[in-house]
Structure 1
Amino acid sequence: MKVSILHKVVLIFCTCMFLNTEAQKTIAPEFGKGLFKLVGKDNSWSMKVGLRFQSLATTNWNASNGISNPSSSMLIRRSRLKFDGFAYSPKLKYKVELGLSNRDQSGASAYTSNAPRYILDALLKWNFSGNFVLWFGQTKLPGNRERVISSANLQQVDRSLLNSRFTIDRDMGFQLRHHFKLTDTFLVKEIFSMAQGEGRNITTGNIGGHQYTTRIELFPFGDFTSKGDYKGSDLAFEEQPKLSLGIAYDFNNNASKTRSNQGSYMFIDNTKDKILNDRVYHRTNISTLFIDAMYKHKGFSLMAEYANRDAKDPLAKNSDGSLTGDEVQVGHGLNIQTGYLVSKTVEVSARYTNISLDKIITGKDSENQYTLGLSKYVAGHSLKVQTDLSYTDIGFKTNQLLYRLQVDIHF
């Protein structure tokens, strides 16, 4: 019922935008640049409306003793409706992104009022002075580079294991961003963020303290073409070498989840039925370090990331000192990914990922994943077909072979 209500609201909204032609100009942009764009008669506001979705097919095998026990699935991996533009002044921009697929809306709980999590981004960006921009709302935190790259602009079918284990994803708060040049070409970008520290779409409860993130990026050869430092593949075919080096540090004060603002809550004393009682959680300070780089030149791209998570008291304990069985997922990960465009529209890529969580604390073996990918860019990232094959070595446990095929379209 709730899903149908959302769809009705979206349909009514879009219909009103189309019908109200006397109040604004309607501009149909080129493919991949939005469905349509609205501009107020007095040029005091604008809105670009976009839509995209990904159709994904996967097959997974147990690879420990030869290829056996295959399982397969097909689904709409992501489906998004996007709005962005400016309001009142070009210095005040906004972005709204809604998730329409089941995967986009998953995660309903008492903390989200048991409602689907429709809202991905709801953000204001105010350029209040010079190169300073203040962001306020819900959006991605400035953590690892791979997470901030839009899922529409990925080099392979999906992000790496490093991202799934260590990302700090989206949260509600503010970000202060600034950039300056050291020389004519050497560019520096700085970001500071303060967030609630509970993840996205939280409506009830802010357990513990807040989450603080700082990120610095260095561009010794100048900025990338068309924001290419946050896009997979060198589709711009950079004429000169371009390099971005980034380092980010995140501190979540009195966090109560197993992966900082992600993962599951750590309950104590068997009190899961009292989840809104502030006294039923294990809380500890969690810090995460990210170091990453992006390099591009004439169709070749290389992205590398390192992540490390630590906690002051990673083991959740009951009031009597006994262990609950929950723990912070402390450890580190490494991801190296490269690709080369053999033509303007065809790319081969490869990725290696290592996840090494603290086995004494988490009880988990290290993981190594090897991925080979092939992409056909019909219209850049706006219309592409991607496929990849991954082999995952999980210590002494069951190894896995995964094949994926995905079509991505972005209006």
Structure 2
Amino acid sequence: MKIKMLALIMVLSAVSVGAQDVEGPKFGKGILNIVGKDSTWSMNFSARMQLLSTTSWDYSDDTYGKASSNFLVRRARLKFSGFAYSPKLKYKMELGLSNRDISGASEFTGNSPNYILDAVVMWNFYENFELWAGQTKLPGNRERVISSANLQLVDRSLLNSRFNIDRDMGLQLRHHIDVSESFVIKEMFAVSQGEGRNVTTGNLGGHQYTGRVEILPLGEFEGKGDYSGGDLKRESTPKLALGATYDFNNNAVKNRSNQGSYMANDLGFYETNISTLFIDAMFNYKGLSIMAEYSNRDAEDAIAKNSDGTATGDTVQVGNGFNVQSGYVFPSNWEVTGRYTTIDLDQNITGKDVENQYTLGLSKYIVGHKLKVQTDVSYTTIGGENDGLMYRLQLDVHF
């Protein structure tokens, strides 16, 4: 693996040296844009990083305890995109380099770091139809599909961390219908392995099936603003996006569908059917943005068992979540954002109390989402008793 990383660094260094006298793209549009001499291929190479500071306090005995601080490179990534042979055949590859990006190595990933985030080919084979093949985000909840580079707050909500279906390996079919100039319907369907990204051991349970429908009754958002945090484009007319996703993981072996931990038992792995539902909405108008999401996860039998019927101690994380956030971007490109999230897992199965979180954030967009400073403070309560405060400060730089 060290040899591979060294080779990657050497390639990037060579590109850098070779491009010293070449005029690069505008800031935020990538480091290098290349088009083949015969126009049969193209590549855009870009990089980004997020530097994060977190300070938290736990509440006990009627007082907040000593602060706990953490400084880290939250994300550091390289991105490659373009087309191969024909503009109708596009590709995207994204590599993660930070410890948080590559964590999770196990026997199921060949005991190797999880460098690969996306490796997908997208073929526009007929009119408004696209076939995707490879590893990428499933068409799940809106907040998850929004890139971490384009978030309205420092990071995603508790709803996303508890319920999202993230990335997986498989096929996706996507299509959109332009009912009129101001009414668009989008449909997405995916068949995937069902155990998350970079799994090399093959499918242990069944497969995963995901369907999503989106309705944009007031037309497309400017600059794909329906998948970007905050109304930085300051939509001149109201824009609304409504979406719903249903995900079915057949014979799932992880406790959060294709995420979470494997549920082992005396025969190998416990399997059960897991279904996840997402309903979400996005509204933007003149700097005001509102995003809301509801999630529900259920399982055929949420308590993992051995062959003799005894419980293993693992449970599927079934329950509900709700998240709503709203912000306003001032003409000076400062934004104030508020968020409320509640997580209500089935206590009889998971043993977990209701968790509520309240977040207030402030962002300064220097060059949109490409160069920004964000800070937020969150107050979290679990079961109405265990409280906590968290303060975060983050710098984003995206070339």
Does residue 332 (structure 1) correspond to residue 320 (structure 2)? The answer is yes
Task: Provide Cα deviations, 1:337-394, integer angstroms capped at 9, x if missing partner.
Answer: 1000123410000000000000000000010000000000111000000000000010
Greater mean alpha carbon deviation, residues 314-323 or residues 386-395:
314-323
Task: Flag the 1:285–1:410 CA change in 2: closer, same or farther, 3 A.
Answer: same
1:226 deviates by 0.7
Does residue 357 (structure 1) correspond to residue 333 (structure 2)? The answer is no
Task: Please state whether the residue corresponding to 2:144 is helix, strand or coil.
Answer: helix
What is aligned with 1:323? 311
Task: Please state whether the residue corresponding to 2:149 is helix, strand or coil.
Answer: helix
Residue type of the partner of 2:387? N
What is aligned with 2:372? 384
Task: Provide Cα deviations, 1:289-347, integer angstroms capped at 9, x if missing partner.
Answer: 00000000000000000000000010001111111110000000000010001234100
Matches within 5 A, 1:9-408: 9-17=7-15, 28-64=24-60, 65-269=62-266, 279-408=267-396
Maintained 8 Å contact 1:53/1:78:
yes
Maintained 8 Å contact 1:26/1:39:
no
Maintained 8 Å contact 1:35/1:48:
yes
Maintained 8 Å contact 1:26/1:36:
no
1:186 deviates by 0.5
Task: Please state whether the residue corresponding to 1:182 is helix, strand or coil.
Answer: strand
Residue type of the partner of 2:324? I
Task: Provide Cα deviations, 1:118-139, integer angstroms capped at 9, x if missing partner.
Answer: 0000010000010001110000
- Unmatched runs of 5 consecutive residues or more in structure 1: 270-278
Maintained 8 Å contact 1:123/1:139:
yes
Task: Please state whether the residue corresponding to 1:238 is helix, strand or coil.
Answer: coil
Return the alpha-carbon distance in structure 2 between the equivalents of residues 99 and 66 of structure 1.
Answer: 39
Task: Flag the 1:26–1:220 CA change in 2: closer, same or farther, 3 A.
Answer: farther
Residue type of the partner of 1:301? S
Task: Please state whether the residue corresponding to 1:165 is helix, strand or coil.
Answer: helix
Residue type of the partner of 2:261? S
1:43 deviates by 1.0
Maintained 8 Å contact 1:199/1:261:
yes
Task: Provide Cα deviations, 1:253-281, integer angstroms capped at 9, x if missing partner.
Answer: 00010000000011113xxxxxxxxx411
Task: Flag the 1:343–1:20 CA change in 2: closer, same or farther, 3 A.
Answer: closer
What is aligned with 1:7? 5
Return the alpha-carbon distance in structure 2 between the equivalents of residues 72 and 56 of structure 1.
Answer: 11
Q: What's the C-alpha RMSD, in Å, of the aligned pairs?
A: 1.4
Maintained 8 Å contact 1:197/1:252:
yes
Maintained 8 Å contact 1:26/1:37:
no
Moved over 6 A (4+): none
- Percentage identity across paired residues of the two chains: 62
Task: Please state whether the residue corresponding to 2:39 is helix, strand or coil.
Answer: coil
Maintained 8 Å contact 1:235/1:344:
no
Task: Flag the 1:355–1:10 CA change in 2: closer, same or farther, 3 A.
Answer: same
Scaled by the length of structure 1, the TM-score of the pair is 0.94
Task: Please state whether the residue corresponding to 2:66 is helix, strand or coil.
Answer: strand
Scaled by the length of structure 2, the TM-score of the pair is 0.97
Residue type of the partner of 2:350? T
Task: Please state whether the residue corresponding to 1:69 is helix, strand or coil.
Answer: coil
Residue type of the partner of 1:167? N
